[in-house]
Homo-oligomer: A and B are copies of this chain.
Amino acid sequence: MTLLDKINSPQDVKKLSTAKLESLAQEIRAAILNRDSKIGGHVGPNLGIVEATIALHYVFNSPVDKIVYDVSHQSYPHKLLTGRRDGFLNDEKMNQISGYTNPNESEHDFFTIGHTSTSVSLACGLAKARDLKGQNHNVIAVIGDGSLSGGEALEGLSNAAVLNSNIIIIVNDNEMSIAENHGGLYTNLRLLRETDGCAECNLFKALGFDYHYVADGNSISQMIDILSRVKDTKRPTLLHIHTLKGKGYKFAEENKEQWHWNLPFDIQSGKINLELGNEENYNDITFDYLNHKIKQDKDVVILTAGTPGAFGLSPDRRQQLGANYVDVGIAEEHAVAMSSALAKGGCKPVFCVWSSFVQRTYDQLSQDLAINNNPAVILVFSGAISAMDVTHLGCFDIPLIGNIPNIVYLAPTTKEEYLAMLEWGIEQTEHPVVIRVPTQVIYAPAPVKDDFGSLNRFETIRLGQDVAILALGSFLTLGMQTADKLKEQGINATVINPRYITGIDENLLNNLKENHQIIVTLEDGEIDGGFGEKITRFYGTDKIKVLNFGAKKEFTDRVPLDELYRRYHLTPDLITADILKIK
């Protein structure tokens, strides 16, 4: 029987001797690698925080004392010590436990968290609630150095510092964000590490925190010692601990960026258990295009916000881009505002961002960019209905961006159309342009030469009658397949590629009235507030019938994609059946 077998709650951690705690750390590491090697997940952040987590549960009394993990990339050891070891050791139960903190899984988790930089503000709320209720437990936020640069974290730090009460913020400094860190914050963290926390010029002390530095955050005894000392403090306290990202697993220690998160792999060799095909993908297509473009035009600048790897921008590729590439760290708001100003300054910025994270920038999109109408380009990746964790869904960007005036939001369908839109977006000077990068690469039957400057012209792909299918972006394939299915029913449907998410082609829509009775819209995202509803509104007083297909307004959590497609009737058969029902 292993030690982990006997840990059913944090109370069981407190019973172990120092030597046993060390053994427990090794078991936790093995369990993390077991899970990650089989189903993929965050590797480096979790391996680095094993000892600190053991110490937290040894010293504090969770769930009375409340620990909030930022972004949850480092919550696996916590999960292992709070009754969820099956998610790491039992192959059949792994998928029952998410990769993020989740109150539905355990009373030791207080929030479902998957975006960065939120823990300090959330901890402030828990601490203030405690104070108003006259309780006296500890509230602890655990935040990685990389997450510190996000605006919400910085707002939180400034407010936590004046809470005048117990709040303990553990900055887990592993000298890395997802990729390398960027920003002046990290200048100070380095100084503090180099001076063993003694430098007078101390960001956290400047804010008003009681500050402590732990040089070896991977030492259980050092961590137990310091946590015992700060426990029950009545002052805002910041514990700066230095840990090794990927600790105990050679490959993860050596290549921290690649092993921040990984696909399933072979533990011995560190090799990914997946034949990565040779198919083209939009990361490569985008890089190849932009890299070539930059060689010709030094005004082009690519920006990312802390996640270059998500766009295939490996260290080697970043180096190729040189001064024309800027990673601002986890700071999406800054990236959008900076893009707007780069355009104002005569450059041609291209900000790459995931759909889920562009959510962090609504006000910057509206105020810094759209009101100013600067010609920056934003590429939204992973905008699609997906089987992702609830915190990483990509189905909300169309309602988010599509209703902001002045922005031209484009939905390319093929590689050729994507590149034509990208070229146009970069070279035009009239509009902020956002492009929803397709998920699967398909190819155009003919060259795409449009300049897209005459806005909101939809393209008819197949001309039929009775039924017209407006199939947005990635869903063009679904639209064509549905048209084929309708053909079997004797219906020769029209298929249209709308191309523009943010406007409608009134001429084309009016012309459809002549010999169509049913209009169908397909979009790879939430229907509410999306593209299809605008089409339905256009036909609001006509006899024509309109059916909108897309995702329901709901948060879904790791629901398989085929199940979602069935649920939302996003298959050729189900769409056809719905059409026949109203015909």
Question: Which A residues fall within an 8 A CB radius of B?
Answer: 103, 110-115, 118, 121-126, 128-133, 149-152, 154-162, 182-185, 187-188, 191, 200-203, 205-209, 236, 298-299, 301, 323-324, 326, 328-329, 331, 333-334, 337-347, 349, 359-360, 362-364, 366-368, 370-372, 390-391, 396, 399-400, 402-406, 526-530, 532-534, 536-537, 539-541, 543, 545-548, 553-555, 582
Is there contact, CB below 8 Å, between A122 and B203?
no
C-alpha spacing A255/B81, complex, angstroms? 55
Is there contact, CB below 8 Å, between B149 and A151?
no
C-alpha spacing A201/B299, complex, angstroms? 39
Is there contact, CB below 8 Å, between A582 and B541?
yes
C-alpha spacing A554/B405, complex, angstroms? 5
With A111-B341, A115-B367, A122-B340 known as contacts, the answer to whether A150 contacts B155 (CB < 8 A) is: yes
Is there contact, CB below 8 Å, between B132 and A366?
no
Specify which chain B residues have a CB less than 8 angstroms from the CB of A341 in the assembled complex.
110-111, 121-126, 129
C-alpha spacing A156/B341, complex, angstroms? 12
C-alpha spacing A187/B390, complex, angstroms? 38
Q: Which residue of B lies closest to A131 (CB)?
A: B323
Determine how close the nearest CB of chain B comes to the CB of A343; give it in whole angstroms.
8
Specify which chain B residues have a CB less than 8 angstroms from the CB of A548 in the assembled complex.
537, 540
Specify which chain B residues have a CB less than 8 angstroms from the CB of A158 in the assembled complex.
149, 154, 183-185, 329, 331
Q: Which residue of B lies closest to A205 (CB)?
A: B201
Tell me how many chains of this kind the complex includes: 2
Specify which chain B residues have a CB less than 8 angstroms from the CB of A536 in the assembled complex.
533, 536-537, 540
Is there contact, CB below 8 Å, between A162 and B187?
yes
Is there contact, CB below 8 Å, between B545 and A540?
yes
Specify which chain B residues have a CB less than 8 angstroms from the CB of A187 in the assembled complex.
161-162, 206-208
Specify which chain B residues have a CB less than 8 angstroms from the CB of A527 in the assembled complex.
537
Specify which chain B residues have a CB less than 8 angstroms from the CB of A337 in the assembled complex.
118, 121-122, 124-125, 152, 156
Q: Which residue of B lies closest to A123 (CB)?
A: B341
Specify which chain B residues have a CB less than 8 angstroms from the CB of A406 in the assembled complex.
555
Is there contact, CB below 8 Å, between B184 and A160?
yes
Is there contact, CB below 8 Å, between A124 and B334?
yes
A-B contact pairs, 5 of them (CB 8 A): A111-B368, A121-B333, A124-B334, A184-B209, A541-B545
Q: Which residue of B lies closest to A200 (CB)?
A: B200
C-alpha spacing A399/B338, complex, angstroms? 25
Determine how close the nearest CB of chain B comes to the CB of A151; give it in whole angstroms.
2
Specify which chain B residues have a CB less than 8 angstroms from the CB of A185 in the assembled complex.
158, 207
Q: Which of B152, B207, B391, B545 is close to A364, meaning CB atoms less than 8 Å apart?
A: B152
Is there contact, CB below 8 Å, between B537 and A400?
no
* Given A155-B183, A184-B209, A541-B546, 4 further pairs, Cβ under 8 A: A129-B345, A149-B155, A150-B151, A362-B362
C-alpha spacing A270/B158, complex, angstroms? 35
Of all A-B residue pairs in the complex, the 3 with the closest CB atoms, nearest first, are A151-B151, A125-B341, A129-B345
Is there contact, CB below 8 Å, between B364 and A362?
no
Specify which chain B residues have a CB less than 8 angstroms from the CB of A124 in the assembled complex.
334, 337-338, 341
Determine how close the nearest CB of chain B comes to the CB of A322; give it in whole angstroms.
10
Specify which chain B residues have a CB less than 8 angstroms from the CB of A328 in the assembled complex.
155, 159
Determine how close the nearest CB of chain B comes to the CB of A578; give it in whole angstroms.
9
Specify which chain B residues have a CB less than 8 angstroms from the CB of A391 in the assembled complex.
367, 371
Specify which chain B residues have a CB less than 8 angstroms from the CB of A154 in the assembled complex.
151, 154-155, 158
Specify which chain B residues have a CB less than 8 angstroms from the CB of A113 in the assembled complex.
367
With A132-B299, A359-B362, A529-B529 known as contacts, the answer to whether A188 contacts B207 (CB < 8 A) is: yes
C-alpha spacing A200/B200, complex, angstroms? 6
Determine how close the nearest CB of chain B comes to the CB of A69; give it in whole angstroms.
14
Specify which chain B residues have a CB less than 8 angstroms from the CB of A203 in the assembled complex.
203, 206-207
Q: Which residue of B lies closest to A390 (CB)?
A: B371
Determine how close the nearest CB of chain B comes to the CB of A205; give it in whole angstroms.
5
C-alpha spacing A200/B201, complex, angstroms? 6
Determine how close the nearest CB of chain B comes to the CB of A5; give it in whole angstroms.
32
Residue from A122, A128, A206 having most chain B Cβ neighbours under 10 A: A206
Residue from A126, A151, A236 having most chain B Cβ neighbours under 10 A: A151
Q: Which residue of B lies closest to A555 (CB)?
A: B405
Is there contact, CB below 8 Å, between A298 and B132?
yes
Is there contact, CB below 8 Å, between A359 and B366?
yes
Is there contact, CB below 8 Å, between A533 and B529?
yes
Determine how close the nearest CB of chain B comes to the CB of A395; give it in whole angstroms.
10
C-alpha spacing A341/B539, complex, angstroms? 44
Q: Which of B160, B299, B528, B582 is close to A403, meaning CB atoms less than 8 Å apart?
A: B528
Q: Which residue of B lies closest to A349 (CB)?
A: B125
C-alpha spacing A545/B546, complex, angstroms? 12
Q: Which of B133, B400, B541, B554 is close to A299, meaning CB atoms less than 8 Å apart?
A: B133
C-alpha spacing A339/B403, complex, angstroms? 27
Specify which chain B residues have a CB less than 8 angstroms from the CB of A532 in the assembled complex.
537
Q: Which residue of B lies closest to A326 (CB)?
A: B128
Is there contact, CB below 8 Å, between B368 and A338?
no
Is there contact, CB below 8 Å, between A346 and B133?
yes
Is there contact, CB below 8 Å, between B206 and A367?
no
